[in-house]
Structure 1
Amino acid sequence: MGSIHHITLRAIAQATEDIDRVKAALSLFIFGGEIEAVTTEGHYGNPITLLQAQIKGKDCDRFIELLKSRLSEPELERLKNELDERIDDECYLHIRFDKQAAYKGMAQLAATTDTIAAGIKLKVYPARREKAIKIAEEIF
């Protein structure tokens, strides 16, 4: 494929959550890559841990294959239909996954705010949103 520069995945572990469970959910998507953890304060002063990982190279293709094989047919269709809304001016394709489903080993688009956020940086030169949408359509 080679049309993806890199993919950044982020998840928040609330103080009430087991960080290892959130890491396990995140690891569904990262193929043994490193997960960075930063402890910070939430909106109301509560401690939260921001977990982040980056995927590069061949693992980007593996990530797309994982989505194609694990997302349900209706979800894949929804993703294709929403590409226009999901791609920003920086040529990032944004997808949010259900964190609880990921912990159980399932890739599922998020219906709640408890998510794993993926930012897929598309290779577009010059960086134009219209071109990014076309590339995303080719990927999916």
Structure 2
Amino acid sequence: MASVPFHYIDLRTFCYATEDEKRVEEAIRAFLPEEFEVERSTTEGYHGDRIVVLSARVEKADDVRHVLARLSELDDIDRVMDELDDRVDDNCSFFLRLDKQAAFRGEVRRGEGLTLRAKVEAYPAKREAAVENARGALEDVRAAEHGSDEGEAGA
């Protein structure tokens, strides 16, 4: 995949008072390149409890490729691609929710806890063009991952 049709990818999760902040950070880091900076902000829940918001914005092409490669590990990546019409909004943003508990274990699954938002490049900035660009990028990364698996098996 020569170019990556994403301006950036944002990842965000919440660490509630009942959770271990280091473990929650490990979950978000499961999608990030090594040594990537994770930002923290603290807010207060409805009942006065402390909530830490952990987030990261990935902008460099190689870092975006890293996140996409992790997404290609989804068992149902084909289903995600089939749902792109519903997952890309009129502002050309692609949304996906990921399982925070699975991410902590190093697994990639859809679920609750981690939010991914990716701004898709589209010229002109039309939803239909963004859907096609996102589909192409996910197909490319899926093909690259399957190709590397086959190469390793033959070695």
What SS class does the counterpart of residue 123 from structure 2 fall into? coil
- The residue number in structure 2 matching 1:7 is 9
Superposed, which structure 2 residues align to 1:113-124 within 5 Å? Answer: 113=112, 115-124=113-122
Normalised to the residue count of structure 2, the TM-score between the two structures is 0.82
Give the deviation of 1:64 after TM superposition. 1.0
Higher CA-based Rg: 2
Distance in 1 of aligned mates of 2:20 and 2:101: 12
Give the deviation of 1:44 after TM superposition. 3.5
- 1:43 paired to 2:41: no
- Match for 1:26: what amino acid? I
Q: Which consecutive unaligned segments of at least 5 residues does structure 1 have?
A: none
| Cα pair 1:7 1:55 within 8 Å, conserved | yes
Distance in 1 of aligned mates of 2:55 and 2:116: 10
Superposed, which structure 2 residues align to 1:90-109 within 5 Å? Answer: 90-109=91-110
Give the deviation of 1:125 after TM superposition. 2.0
- Greater Cα offset, 42-51 or 27-36: 42-51
Distance in 1 of aligned mates of 2:14 and 2:21: 9
Q: Which consecutive unaligned segments of at least 5 residues does structure 2 have?
A: 139-155
- The residue number in structure 2 matching 1:61 is 65
- 1:132 paired to 2:135: no
What SS class does the counterpart of residue 138 from structure 1 fall into? helix
- The residue number in structure 1 matching 2:82 is 81
Identity of aligned residues (%): 36
Aligned length: 134
| Cα pair 1:33 1:54 within 8 Å, conserved | no
User: Of Structure 1 and Structure 2, which has the larger fraction of its residues in strand?
Assistant: 1
Normalised to the residue count of structure 1, the TM-score between the two structures is 0.90
| Cα pair 1:5 1:56 within 8 Å, conserved | yes
| Cα pair 1:22 1:99 within 8 Å, conserved | yes
User: Of Structure 1 and Structure 2, which has the larger fraction of its residues in helix?
Assistant: 2
